[in-house]
Amino acid sequence: MTLRLPPAFVLHRRACVGSTNDEAKSLAEGGAGEGALVWADQQTGGRGRRGRSWASPPGNLYCSLILTPDVPLMRAAELGFVAALAIADLASWAAPQADIRLKWPNDVLADGAKISGILLEPAPPGGIVLGMGINIASAPSGTPYPAAALSAWNNDLTAQAALERLMARLWDLYGLWRSQGFLPIRDLWLSNAKGIGEALEVRLEDRTLTGIFTGLDEQGALILDGTTRILAGDVFFPGADQSEK
Ligand code: BTN
């Protein structure tokens, strides 16, 4: 199996791991640098945002990439938008008939259902691990937001083909971010976002806010009603069909 990846990449192929993010962090501790990529067929302890688990049966894509951009750690969250754009490109290529949109902060929706997740974590001594899970063959049920798998639109897509497309686009967008900063990434993200100018519900740890989604600030925070700045939360679209596919 020859895998076509950008030249800087070093693939660490695994059948089964706890979490590809943890595997990538161990590699970073052992000296692995930018471009080290862990790809596993399944995870027994896949992790999601906000302490959730990420169901990881065989057939989907689970990967984690070490990046070492020379920026303060607080800018790492911008990479979630870079990765979401790369996943949206993959989804548009694999499922051209689906409506592919971005949901803050880092979700990709196909016809309104979540098809992927992104988990960014520090990778000591000086890197960041960008973990991505993409539902290719199956989607979990009972999730906070309805989920779907790309097989609903394209039954021929393999995890390998998805990984190749994803990494090629990710590397291009990462280059754009490194050379020109977050603003062009923000513009691209906003032009593919769901719900701009519409009412949103944002579930925070301790309360729920509603308001009109007016944009993102220069750090990627969600702006409601032109002034309310939100750094972490789960977005829902009141009135949209959010039943499971
Ligand atoms: C989310 O909650 O939406 C983020 C999910 C991130 C899942 C991916 S799968 C590969 C990598 N390894 C993990 O344990 N999590 C990420």
143-170 pLDDT, tens per residue? 989 999 999 999 999 999 999 999 999 9
Q: What is the four-CA torsion angle of 234, 236, 242, 245, rounded to 10 degrees?
A: -40
Location of structure tokens 């989804």: 91
> 47 alpha carbon to ligand 1 midpoint, in Å?
5
Give the number of the atom of ligand 1 that is nearest the alpha carbon of residue 40.
Answer: 10
> 133 alpha carbon to ligand 1 midpoint, in Å?
5
Amino acid identity of 65?
L
Dump pLDDT digits (tens) for 73-90: 889 999 999 999 999 999
Token pair belonging to 130? 């960008």
Query: What percent of the chain clears pLDDT 70, i.e. is strictly above it?
Result: 97
Q: Check pocket membership of 64 for ligand 1, CB cut-off 6 A.
A: yes
Q: Which residue's CA is the closest to the ligand 1 atom numbered 11?
A: 131
Q: Check pocket membership of 14 for ligand 1, CB cut-off 6 A.
A: no
Dump pLDDT digits (tens) for 214-229: 999 999 999 999 999 9
Torsions phi, psi of 85, nearest 5?
-65, -40
Query: Which alpha helices (DSSP H) does 181-242 contain, by range?
Result: 182-191
Q: Ligand 1 pocket test: pick from 17, 43, 47 the residue with the most ligand atoms within 8 Å of its Cβ.
A: 47
Torsions phi, psi of 22, nearest 5?
-65, -40
Q: Ligand 1 pocket test: pick from 132, 143, 167, 203 the residue with the most ligand atoms within 8 Å of its Cβ.
A: 132
Q: Which residue's CA is the closest to the ligand 1 atom numbered 2?
A: 48
> 186 alpha carbon to ligand 1 midpoint, in Å?
22
Give the number of the atom of ligand 1 that is nearest the alpha carbon of residue 19.
Answer: 14
Amino acid identity of 142?
G
Which parts of the chain register pLDDT below 50? 243-245
User: What is the value of pTM for the model shown?
Assistant: 0.96
Can you give the pLDDT at residue 7?
Answer: 95
Of the candidates 72, 67, 56, the one whose C-alpha atom is nearest the C-alpha of residue 8 is 67
CB 5 within 8 A of CB 164: yes
Of the candidates 2, 36, 3, 43, the one whose C-alpha atom is nearest the C-alpha of residue 20 is 43
CA distance linking residue 204 with residue 115, whole number of Å: 22
Q: Check pocket membership of 6 for ligand 1, CB cut-off 6 A.
A: no
